[in-house]
Each structure stands twice: as C-alpha cells, then as structure tokens.
Amino acid sequence: MSYRQIVAEIQGAPRVLAAPSFVIPSGVAENCRHLAGLFPEVALLFFESDACLRYTDEDLPPWLAQLGLRYHVHLPLDLPWEDGADAAWRVVERLVSRAAFLSPQAFVLHPPARTDVLAAFADRWEGAGYDPAALLLENTRECDLARHLRLAEDRGLALCLDLGHMLAYEQEFLAEDADFARVRMLHLNAPGPGGRHLSLAALDERGQALVQRMLDRLRPDAVLTIEVFEERGLMESARVLLDMLGAVSVR
C-alpha cells in the first residue's frame, strides 16, 4: 500500500484514527499542520506540566482551530498527586482552559494510585462543569485501573486502554474486566525496550490477538490513537491497524 493509499484509507476508515502531536522534530503547532490531511484527529501531548503551562499563542496559535482537525488532550504525566487532588486540579484546570479554543473531544489522565484522591479530583472536574465522560482514565505502570473501575462506573468516567502498557505490565485482564461501554479510546503501539513506543508492525501474535479482542468489543465512536512518535513508524502502524480493522465489524 502506497503512502497516498494509506492516507486515503485513514480518512475513510470505519473508526477515527488519531496521531500524537509529536511525530516530526518541531513544536505542537507545526506537528498539527503536518498531520492535517493525514489524520482526522490529533492528540495534544501536554506531557510536562511546567512546560505546557508556559505555552503561548506561538505554541498554540489560533489557526490550529482552522486545520480541519479534531483534538483531544493528553494531560501531564507529572501531575503532583502526592500533594493531593487540589494541586493536580490547579494544573489541569489551567491546561483545559488553555486548549478550550480547540474544543477537545476528551482528556486522557494518568490517574493517581489512591481512589480517594481520584474521587476528589473527579469532584473538582464535575464541579467546574466538565463532562465526566470526557475524562479518560489510562492504565499505566503505576496504576492498572483495577482499583478504579468501580469509581469510573459510579462517577461516569471513561477509560483509555493502553495496549503497550497492557502487554508490558501484565494488564491484559483489562480486555475482559473493563466495561467497554466506557472505553472511549485505545492507545496503540508495540512495547519496546526502555519504554519505547514501537510500530504496531513489531507486535507478536499475542499482541495482535489482544488488539483484535479489544477492537471487537470497542464501541463504534471510540478513537484509536497510534502512540508512535516518529512518522515512518506512525504510518506503518496505520497500515497495520487498517488491516486489522478490515477483519473487524464495527457495531
């Protein structure tokens, strides 16, 4: 399949495929400009709290809203959970406000280990008028989500299942235990050494089977975010994923 064919297939895919806002060595804005026309949605990677809080209109210029892209936000990996829900919320509130002009569809959160802290954060989120279903809890090395599944159900929070984390940290149980009516997103990559995010072409049979199981259970409006941070691997992963989607009926 040629590059042009892959792009056409991405745009016409039965599910929304998203790319991260770092695939070329440049800032968020130039990455989004580059990805416009290739993918329908971009994940804005707000990975580092301090750096992202310093973003100006040069980093997130108004013209990003004119690119024809949908957006979602990946909230920081370094939120100060050790200082409590209020401290984490103060960071998140500012970043959500900063991205508001782009009307993000969802916000992916690496949750704290403690359920009471997450519950307090959910209180802040809802109290500010945000939709609980727009807050997506991701499974991480530190938190496999098992302790948070009941809270997510009770509070109407959504889930983002990360394939690489499931494979690397023995979290495949989530493919069965998670309520897939709440799974609004998958993060897709093959796990590599040192936490590297490899192309989906590097998946072994176990990984391929896990992807197929999740795709088969996934709600039709869920987003498939390819978390590969270089263009060749991103497009190769898109080709692999498109082949997998051809074997799955979207209900």
Residue 54 pLDDT exceeds 80: yes
Across the range 142-155, mean pLDDT stands at 97
DSSP lists the bridge partners of residue 72 as: 43
Q: From 184, 36, 54, 51, select the one nearest 102 (Cα to Cα).
A: 36
pLDDT in the model for residue 194: 82
Token pair for 79: 């939120």
Residue 167 structural domain: 3-245
Task: Please write down the HEC assignment for all residues of 6-60.
Answer: HHHHHHCCCCEEEEECCCCCCCHHHHHHHHECCECEEEEECCCHHHHHCCCCCCC
User: From the CB of residue 250, how many other CB atoms can be counted at a distance below 10 Å?
Assistant: 14
pLDDT in the model for residue 160: 99
- Got the DSSP string for 214-229? HHHHS-TT-EEEE---
| pLDDT class of 193 with cuts at 50, 70, 90 | confident
For residue 250, being part of any structural domain is answered with no
Residue 60 pLDDT exceeds 60: yes
For residue 218, being part of any structural domain is answered with yes
Token pair for 75: 């909230």
For residue 125, being part of any structural domain is answered with yes
For residues 116 and 71, what is the distance between their CA atoms, to the nearest angstrom?
30
For residue 251, being part of any structural domain is answered with no
pLDDT in the model for residue 17: 98
**DSSP H/E element including 122:** helix 115-127
Please write the tens of the pLDDT for every residue from 3-18. Answer: 788 999 999 999 999 9
**DSSP H/E element including 237:** helix 231-245
For residue 136, being part of any structural domain is answered with yes
| pLDDT class of 247 with cuts at 50, 70, 90 | low
Please write the tens of the pLDDT for every residue from 195-209. Answer: 889 999 999 999 999
pLDDT in the model for residue 130: 98
Longest dimension (CA), the chain: 50
Please write the tens of the pLDDT for every residue from 212-234. Answer: 999 999 999 999 999 999 999 99
Distances (CA, A) of 103 to 32, 98, 198: 15, 10, 30
Please write the tens of the pLDDT for every residue from 89-109. Answer: 999 999 999 999 999 999 999
For residue 122, being part of any structural domain is answered with yes
pLDDT in the model for residue 1: 66
Question: What average pLDDT is seen over the chain?
Answer: 96
Instruction: Return the residue matching tokens 């009516």.
Output: 181
pLDDT in the model for residue 197: 93
For residue 24, being part of any structural domain is answered with yes
Residue 85 pLDDT exceeds 60: yes
The torsion defined by the Cα of 147, 153, 156 and 158, in degrees rounded to 10, comes to 60
CATH number reported for the structural domain that contains residue 91 in this entry: 3.20.20.150
Total of domains in the chain:
1
